[in-house]
Structure 1
Amino acid sequence: MTTFFIAVALLITGYVVYSKFVERTFGTDDKNSTPAYSNGDGVDYVPMSWWKGSLIQLLNIAGLGPIFGALMGALYGPVAFIWIVVGTIFAGAVHDYFSGMMSLRHNGAQYPALVGRYLGKTVQVVINIVSIVLMVLVAAAFTAGPAQLIAQITPLSFTVALGLIFTYFLLAAVLPVNKVIGRIYPIFGGILIFMAVSIAVMLLVSDYHIPNLTMQNLHPGDLPIWPLLMVTISCGAISGFHSTQSPIIARTLKKESDGRKVFYGAMVAEGIITLIWAAAGMAFFGGTEGLQGAIAEGGPAGAVNDISKTLLGTLGGILAILGVIILPITTGDTAIRSSRMMVMELLSKMKNSGGGKRKMLVATGVVTVPAIILATIDYSFLWRYVGWTNQLVATVMLWTATMYLLKNHQFHWMTGIPAVFMTAVVSTYIFYAPEGFSLDYHFSVGIGTAITVVVFLWYLNEQRKTKKNRAASRLDAA
């Protein structure tokens, strides 16, 4: 239990101390006009208070990720606590902050546009496709589960439930951000926090033992920690999905200094929620083997239901149902909204693409139709491809932020080191994982290491060129 308390304290300290260092490095200036005012359109660019933006951001980036991912990651044992803490403070929160603040500095630009600006147009084309595919996969994967549960507990069929959910998605995607998302998300964000805190309190006052840190791999299936843990626990440590969501809130900030509370703060809050659910998974079922049995029997949703009902009684059962239904839906709708915004940016570059409303409707249809089709197939199949795609997007965002800092002569190692680390994660994972090339583990690690070395050498070369250009500029100025 000592490890759990230390981990919580480190996450809070990370926000209090390291987030200020990140903010100083970026260089906020409240004299700058934010896109909420300079681009105000009453739909996407609408000023909102920082506390409301924080709760919306938390729900946008969280959903069931810090619950389901935490339970799956808890199968590895207390070593998961290390990844949650270190990943959140030095990778995930930094990633979220820069994706949000760079969007704010570039008039609310979407993630692919930022990538194109700092990594080149070729990378932008690829990441545009990858990002939109990720959004469609997330919307589909986070819709099938709730629709199935609604069909089980109500007279509605799965098809009708799916239709109702996607009808809501369409409304949330095209209506002004402060009309639907801005009104109901803070409430649901509060529910997510209340649920996690209640579980934590009951764990601590009840006769459950949260294990202390051990570096031993306790996964019953004997799966390797590296790099599977870093993909399994994504939303609770670092997630590329967040970089597609941050621009939604970046377009609503009233001043630049709100970014630390909204982007870095929301990620730390998600890290704490993930930590709580990982601890619950390890403690409630008496170890990783018991947790694996519970997941095998009823899936992560069943494990959440067991924990919630036992620890919180009737209230827990209600919260579990709300969580399994509402939280993924609130992730799916912002996935559709952000992908709609990406497609609109692409359409804006095309001639004869129609007016603003027509572009909005076309863009929404482009991403909604395939999401509906994919939502009817096996959930586990979808989720396998969400994980790696998600972390690939995160890696590219970190490299984008690194190039931004390099070009602005700032402390680029802040994002560069996490970018190198995540490059190793995604490079190794795709060769080893079943949804990838399914190669031998040690061979996959070797290939991943080689790719990472090549990318790191490119990074060092970019530093050299930047220093050379800076020195040349100084000579010209003299």
Structure 2
Amino acid sequence: MVTFLAAIALLLLGYMFYGKLVERTFKINPTSKTPAYTQEDGLDYVPMPWWKGWLIQLLNIAGLGPIFGALMGALYGPVAFIWIVVGCIFGGAVHDYFSGMLSLRHNGEQYPSLVGRYLGKNMKFIINVVSLVLMILVAAAFTAGPAQLIAQVTPLSFGTALIIIFAYFLLATILPVNQVIGKIYPLFGAILIFMAVAIAGALLFIDKPIPNITLSNLHPQDLPIWPLLMVTVSCGAISGFHCTQSPIVARTLKNERDGRKVFYGAMIGEGIIALIWAAAGMTFFNGTEGLQAAIAAGGPAGVVNEISTSLLGKLGGILAILGVIILPITTGDTALRSSRMILSEMVGANEQTNWKQALLYSIPVSLPALYLSTIDYSFLWRYVGWSNQLVAAVTLWTATVYCLRNGKFHWICGIPALFMTGVVSTYIFYAPEGLKLSYQLSMIIGSIITLAVTFWYIYQIRSHQQQTLETKTAA
């Protein structure tokens, strides 16, 4: 229990102190007009209060990620607590803050355009494709699960449930952000927060001890912690999907000083939710062996339902059903909204002032997502994980180059960027959905790639130092 409470305290302290350092590194300008005013169009650029932006951002980035991912990560034991805390404070929250604030500084630009600004046109093209694929996969994966549960608890068929969900997706994608998302997300956010707080409170009073920290790998199948844990627990620690969502809220912020509360703060909130569910999984089932058996029997959704119902009674059961249905939907809808914005920006059609124009760019991304939602959910999710963390690494490198060019403390982004480069470089060679090489060989190849990127980083540092020196000498 001490470890669990200390981990939550560290996340809060991280927001108060490290978050402030990140903000100072970026150097906000509270007097400048934000895109919500300078680009106001009544569709995507709409001024909204920061608390509403925080709730929207939390639901955009969370969904079931910090619940299902945390439960799967809990199979490694309390070492998952370390990754959630460290990853969230020094990686995920930094990633989310810079992706949101860079978008805000560049008139609400989408992630691929920001990559193009700082990493070049070739990388922009690659990331445009990767981002659209990731958005479509996320929308499909986060539709299949809710549709299956709706079919189980209602008279509706799976196909009918899919059509209903996608009809909502289209509405949320093409209507002004303040008409659907801005109105219902605060309610859904309250459900997510209440569910997590209620579970945390119940854990403190049940007759089972919350495990304390250990560096041991307790995974029942003896899967290696590095790099699998860093991909398994993405939402709650660091997730590339978040950078595709940040521009949605960046286009609504009234002041740059709200950035730390909305972007860094929402990530800390997601980290706390992930901690709660990781602790619940380890505690309720008496360790990782019991949790593994529960996941095998009913999947992550069944585990959520069992924990919620047992700890919170009928209310818990209702919350579990609402959570498993609503929360992924609130991620799927904004995934399609982001993909609509990315696609229109990619073809140079940023000006969309009505729902008909928005619909034109929504259909090409909605139809593939609808088709993919009919295939095996686990297959989809395997490919979401690596592409998600690849996007996270590229985002951090984008922020690093931004800091270098502007004479800021670049290490605050560069160190987590190197770490995530090592994660994705090793994972793709070892993972079942990758090349399936031996662990030792994958580690060697991943290390070589990371070392090569490190040399590139050093070259960039020296290059910018030389440019700065030449500029000073010329002056």
Corresponding residue to 1:403 among 392, 396, 401: 401
Distance 2:203 2:81 in 1: 16
Distance 2:405 2:352 in 1: 36
8 Å contact kept, 1:240–1:391:
yes
Q: How does 1:453-468 map to 2 (within 5 A)?
A: 453-468=451-466
**CA shift at 1:401, angstroms?**
0.2
Distance 2:464 2:381 in 1: 40
The letter of the residue matching 1:405 is C
8 Å contact kept, 1:203–1:280:
yes
Deviations 1:183-231 (A, max 9, x none): 0001111110100000000010111211111111000011000000000
Distance 2:352 2:105 in 1: 28
Q: 1:315 to 1:356 in 2, by over 3 A?
A: closer
Corresponding residue to 2:450 among 426, 449, 452: 452
Partner of 1:388: 386
Q: How does 1:37-436 map to 2 (within 5 A)?
A: 37-348=37-348, 359-436=357-434
Q: TM-score w.r.t. structure 2 length?
A: 0.99
**CA shift at 1:234, angstroms?**
0.1
The letter of the residue matching 1:459 is Y
Partner of 2:34: 34
The letter of the residue matching 2:461 is Q
8 Å contact kept, 2:96–2:263:
yes
Distance 2:416 2:186 in 1: 31
Distance 1:173 1:262 in 2: 21
With 201-210 and 401-410 compared, the bigger mean Cα shift is at: 201-210
Deviations 1:221-259 (A, max 9, x none): 110000000000000100000000000000000000000
8 Å contact kept, 1:391–1:422:
yes
Distance 1:269 1:345 in 2: 30
SS where residue 130 of structure 2 aligns? helix
The letter of the residue matching 2:435 is F
Partner of 1:437: 435
SS where residue 256 of structure 2 aligns? coil
Q: 1:156 to 1:414 in 2, by over 3 A?
A: same
Q: TM-score w.r.t. structure 1 length?
A: 0.98
Q: 1:473 to 1:194 in 2, by over 3 A?
A: same
SS where residue 254 of structure 2 aligns? coil
The letter of the residue matching 1:441 is Y
The CA RMSD measured in Å over matched residues stands at 1.2
Distance 2:403 2:352 in 1: 37
Q: 1:18 to 1:252 in 2, by over 3 A?
A: same
**CA shift at 1:132, angstroms?**
0.5
The letter of the residue matching 2:233 is I
Q: 1:474 to 1:349 in 2, by over 3 A?
A: farther
Distance 1:349 1:186 in 2: 30
**CA shift at 1:363, angstroms?**
1.3
The letter of the residue matching 2:416 is P
Distance 1:342 1:317 in 2: 38
The letter of the residue matching 2:345 is E
Distance 1:421 1:171 in 2: 39
- Consecutive unaligned residues of structure 2, counting only runs of 5 or more, are none
**CA shift at 1:355, angstroms?**
8.8
8 Å contact kept, 1:347–1:359:
no
SS where residue 294 of structure 1 aligns? helix
Distance 2:98 2:346 in 1: 22
Deviations 1:276-297 (A, max 9, x none): 0000000000000000000000
The letter of the residue matching 2:47 is P
The letter of the residue matching 1:397 is T
SS where residue 347 of structure 2 aligns? helix
Distance 2:174 2:207 in 1: 49
Q: 1:43 to 1:460 in 2, by over 3 A?
A: same
**CA shift at 1:346, angstroms?**
1.6
The letter of the residue matching 1:425 is V
**CA shift at 1:360, angstroms?**
2.1
Q: 1:315 to 1:358 in 2, by over 3 A?
A: closer
The letter of the residue matching 1:437 is L
Distance 2:358 2:405 in 1: 34
**CA shift at 1:342, angstroms?**
0.3
SS where residue 155 of structure 2 aligns? coil
The letter of the residue matching 2:443 is V
Partner of 2:469: 471
The letter of the residue matching 2:120 is G
8 Å contact kept, 2:43–2:353:
no
The letter of the residue matching 1:458 is W
SS where residue 257 of structure 1 aligns? helix
Distance 2:333 2:215 in 1: 38
Deviations 1:77-133 (A, max 9, x none): 000000000000000000000000000000000000000000000000000000000
8 Å contact kept, 1:344–1:359:
no
**CA shift at 1:362, angstroms?**
2.3
SS where residue 468 of structure 2 aligns? helix
Distance 1:153 1:304 in 2: 16
Distance 1:146 1:10 in 2: 33
8 Å contact kept, 2:53–2:262:
yes
8 Å contact kept, 1:395–1:422:
yes
Distance 2:128 2:109 in 1: 13
- Consecutive unaligned residues of structure 1, counting only runs of 5 or more, are none
Distance 1:15 1:355 in 2: 37
